Structure 1
């Protein structure tokens, strides 16, 4: 049986050490961690160089449906429980 990736928990957080926004998906009972690099979020914004943590989180919220689509695509290819989404994944 193939499980589909679901995003049941809407929480997200900025991870300063990774310079990325983290969020969680679920494949059945397995928790799948994702990070979206700040550069991927900034590439879609006008104020790329000066974005604050709050602006990265806001950009994530605005892009959530497309981020989740990209996360599903990346996960279907890698099947890893830890995935980092970069600018290249959004092209």
Structure 2
């Protein structure tokens, strides 16, 4: 089974300046963190506070999930950082 993202939840981690979201490979949960700078660089949203970063994530969710799949590649880690 390939990596999938059945849970649309995401959260902003202000201490790490990133959005956290989760994917699953079979029963294995994989955490992903994407730097807010990367999220905002995708465009379409103004501001750099938590609501703006989450809005940018939501706007570009499909593109971000593709980045996550590329970063994962079936590897052994349980957490991946997209920066």
- Report the TM-score, using the length of structure 2 for normalisation: 0.90
Hey, what does 2:71 align to over in structure 1? 74
Q: How far apart are the structure 1 equivalents of 2:60 and 2:45?
A: 16
The list of structure 1 runs, each at least 4 consecutive aligned residues, that deviate by more than 3 angstroms after superposition, is none
Q: 2:36 aligns with which of 35, 38, 56?
A: 38
Distance 1:18 1:5 in 2: 24
Larger radius of gyration: 1
Residue 60 (1) aligns with residue 60 (2) = no
3-state SS of paired residue (1:7): coil
User: RMSD in angstroms over aligned alpha carbons?
Assistant: 1.7
CA displacement at 1:78 relative to structure 2:
4.1
Unaligned runs of 5+ in 1: 87-91
Quick check: 25-34 or 50-59, which moved more? Answer: 50-59
CA deviation vs aligned residue, 1:34-73 (integer Å, no higher than 9, x gap): 001011012123677x411001000000010010011001
1:8 is the counterpart of 2:44? no
User: Matched residue of 1:6: which SS?
Assistant: coil
